[in-house]
Amino acid sequence: AQKITQTQPGMFVQEKEAVTLDCTYDTSDQSYGLFWYKQPSSGEMIFLIYQGSYDEQNATEGRYSLNFQKARKSANLVISASQLGDSAMYFCAMREGLMRGSNYKLTFGKGTLLTVNP
C-alpha cells in the first residue's frame, strides 16, 4: 500500500486564486511528520511547510498553509493568492517513527503538477 497518496496528477488555478493540493497518508505510528516540497521546472527541491502529528494547530508559512485532518489522515496544502511562479510539481512526504530516532527518511507521494494561469 502506498504510504503517501496524491490523487491529483495535475491541477490548474487562475492567478490570485487559492488552490488546495490533496495528500492522504497511511501510517500506524503515533508520531510522524508531514512535509510539502515544491519542484519547479528547474528541478531543485524546495521545502515549503511541515506539520507534526502532535501539532494542534495547522501549520502556516506565508501563502502556504496545511489543512491537517488527523482522523482522516489527510494533510492538504493550501496555496493562497496563486502566482505564476507557483507553477511547479508539488510533493507531499512523510517521516514516520519520530520517537524512534533512527530513521529520518522521507517517503514521497507521486506529486501534483500545478499550473497557474494568468
Partner 1 sequence: DTAVSQTPKYLVTQMGNDKSIKCEQNLGHDTMYWYKQDSKKFLKIMFSYNNKELIINETVPNRFSPKSPDKAHLNLHINSLELGDSAVYFCASSPITGGVSPLHFGNGTRLTVT
Would you tell me which residues interact with partner 1 (CB under 8 A)? 31, 33, 35, 37, 39, 43-45, 47, 50, 52, 89, 91, 95, 98-99, 101-108, 110-111
> Would you call 114 helix, strand, or coil by DSSP?
strand
**Residue with smaller CB distance to partner 1, 18 or 45:** 45
Q: How far apart are CA 52 and CA 80, in angstroms?
A: 21
Contacts 24+ apart (CB under 8 A), 40-49: 40/85, 40/87, 40/88, 40/89, 41/87, 41/88, 45/91, 48/77, 48/90, 49/77
Shortest distance (Å) from residue 107 CB to partner 1: 7
Shortest distance (Å) from residue 16 CB to partner 1: 27
**Residue with smaller CB distance to partner 1, 19 or 33:** 33
Shortest distance (Å) from residue 73 CB to partner 1: 19
